[in-house]
Structure 1
């Protein structure tokens, strides 16, 4: 009976991922099944390096939850790069599968505005699903570098524009038509890159007087359309197998602890400061896209 090492698991995942068929990928994940990972057949023998990885990932997950609780966005944007310092990037992303679903469902229903969100934001919810399908379908035929440069530039420009005195405001008559467009754009970009948030942030910031609580509730509702199908596809492609599902489920704990702490911070935050922090997240998202474009 062999010992269980996080570093061994990470190496196995990296080797499996490297053999994946690019066209069959969803957000950079492969069809390959990790059938050799059967958690209950192995005893747990943690090395010092393993404990460091666990501690580092726990801290990253906590702060990802903290941002999610405070702003309603930004968890993968912070957590995945931090965990990727000690894990293969693919494993870092897959570990977020269960936490992002739980966190968004939690916030959407806790806000007690789910009926209002469904009634108001069903257009982007619907077109996110459609856009994601087409984004995944054309994944292999798109020049990633050009996509990230164009979208990154748009996101950065929108962040500066929304932070200026010349803010773009959607009238009630334009809110639903714009929702169809922004939802489709979010799904398309998310299907290609796994970055669903920027277009949704731009859309919600363009709605006057939405307020921080409605923003978080609405964003969490819309994110459900992004993350639930994504998690299901990970299972269907065999990426979220038994072991990864276990580790991802365990990852829920630090994320939720951080989320609850972040919600307390949000209650003490003014709407103006909240919006400035959201714009900061938007800027970081845009620069992340540019970094991915030029880093190869």
Structure 2
């Protein structure tokens, strides 16, 4: 309980300071301390509540759905495919895949890499990216690669981008929860712990928002992605070491 509470407190601080990172930080740390399926189950309720507000605020929901519904639909509908793979593939292999996604996410952000997808290509790039994102979500619990990169690449304004990411994360969380429960990976004890993790996550977010006024957000972002890069590399190395 202390491990889970401490993890979500830290993840909440990160989200409070830079506006993202709660599912990513909690998933990365819990997958090291426990195991990947348990980490995925524990992040469900805090992730849902953290992104519920983000997905609802902004007044752009209709515009986002009208433009991005094929991407969001595929990203949600294919999560169960990834969860099927989660129940069949070697856990060390999937943990290493999570580490690779964290390293990729960190390198893209640290390097300032920004892709550009012309509007005429969204008709096929959206559903394809959503499909890949959904499968990877089901396999690893990570929502961000390549979905966030797609949203950044299509030229959304800052406010629309933030709300669109919230909608992606919330829908993915719901789909992941349903798929984990259907596959009997999510049990009652994990559900209770996940509900209990909401409070430390909120406390962390409030503390992070207070820290934001004292810290350089850009410097904190850099520190966050460097730490995430190192953690992802450690997850890969540890998974390879334990591979059977």
Q: What TM-score do the two structures reach when normalised by structure 1? A: 0.63
Considering fraction of residues, name the structure with more helix: 2
**1:163-178 paired onto structure 2 within 5 Å:** 167-178=114-125
Residue pair 2:115, 2:149 contacting (<8 A) in 1 also: no
Aligned length: 242
Aligned twin of 2:74: 127
Alignment partner of 1:206 is 2:130: no
The higher relative CO (CA closer than 8 Å, separation ≥ 6) is in 2
Q: 1:134 to 1:160 in 2, by over 3 A?
A: same
**1:137-156 paired onto structure 2 within 5 Å:** 137-139=84-86, 156=103
Aligned twin of 2:204: 258
Select which of 45, 52, 59 maps to 1:98.
45
Larger Rg: 1
Deviation of 1:185 (Å): 0.9
Aligned mates of 2:190, 2:96 — CA distance in 1: 32
Cα deviation per residue 1:11-36 (whole Å; 9 max; x = unaligned)?
A: xxxxxxxxxxxxxxxxxxxxxxxxxx
Aligned twin of 1:64: 11
RMSD: 4.0
**1:176-191 paired onto structure 2 within 5 Å:** 176-191=123-138
Deviation of 1:228 (Å): 0.2
5+ long unaligned stretches in structure 1: 1-52
Deviation of 1:275 (Å): 7.7
5+ long unaligned stretches in structure 2: none
Q: What TM-score do the two structures reach when normalised by structure 2? A: 0.74
Select which of 17, 26, 46 maps to 1:79.
26
